[in-house]
Chains A and B, each alone.
Chain A
């Protein structure tokens, strides 16, 4: 079976500091990978998705970037965090290359910017 891991679970960072959140998937190859953000009291917003190594699509302009250095690894980064980057960050995966498939989410990282 497939599993998805996100870490850390919670993170407190000062404004202007860098960020690196990591997500890995086990039990499948060539998954589609996704990063979402949920701001307090709001719905989930898709930030990035990837259909393969080095292939990243950005959904909204922002202070964040994503990378996929390995098949089952997806990283969310920022060089300088803003207060508005606070939120609940979720990684998700789906089977790749097989049409419409459900996404499966990790447990998320709760990021607070001070």
Chain B
């Protein structure tokens, strides 16, 4: 599975959009981009995933570049409860997840 690169940390103000970037330049044609988050001491929570097209659900939007080498997770109106470690993961047909260090998002009041 392709490797991903994320910044170590970022912060945003409560109520504003949080845009979390991810690079996956070695992604292959049949690999999906997944986003999970982990709030301290809890199990990871699935957020969203996509292959080529942009995706939106009740939690977030996923924007994938046309060349699929990078993506952005958008939390449209961040709240304090969105403070967590966010993992961008690329996985193929076997659906195995390889978690890296993720990006720590801190939402400030």
Chain A residues in the interface with B (C-beta under 8 A):
32, 43-46, 49, 59, 90, 92, 94, 99-108, 110
Contacts and interface: CB of A to CB of B under 8 A. Distances in A.
B95 interface: yes
Nearest to A89: B43
A105 B101 contact: no
A105 B93 CA distance: 19
B96 A101 contact: no
Which residue, B44, B92, B100, B101, has most C-beta atoms of chain A within 10 A?
Answer: B44
A56 to B, nearest CB: 14
Contacts of A45: 99
A100 B32 contact: yes
A108 B46 contact: no
Contacts of B34: 102
14 contacts: A44-B97, A46-B97, A90-B43, A90-B44, A92-B43, A100-B91, A100-B92, A100-B93, A102-B34, A103-B97, A105-B45, A107-B42, A108-B42, A108-B43
Contacts of B101: 43
Given A43-B101, A43-B102, A100-B32, A107 B96 contact: no
Given A44-B97, A100-B95, A106-B43, 12 more contacts: A43-B99, A43-B102, A46-B97, A59-B96, A100-B32, A100-B49, A100-B92, A101-B95, A103-B46, A105-B44, A105-B45, A108-B43
A44 B45 contact: no
A30 to B, nearest CB: 14
Contacts of B97: 44, 46, 103
A78 B34 CA distance: 32
A105 B43 contact: yes
Contacts of A108: 42-43
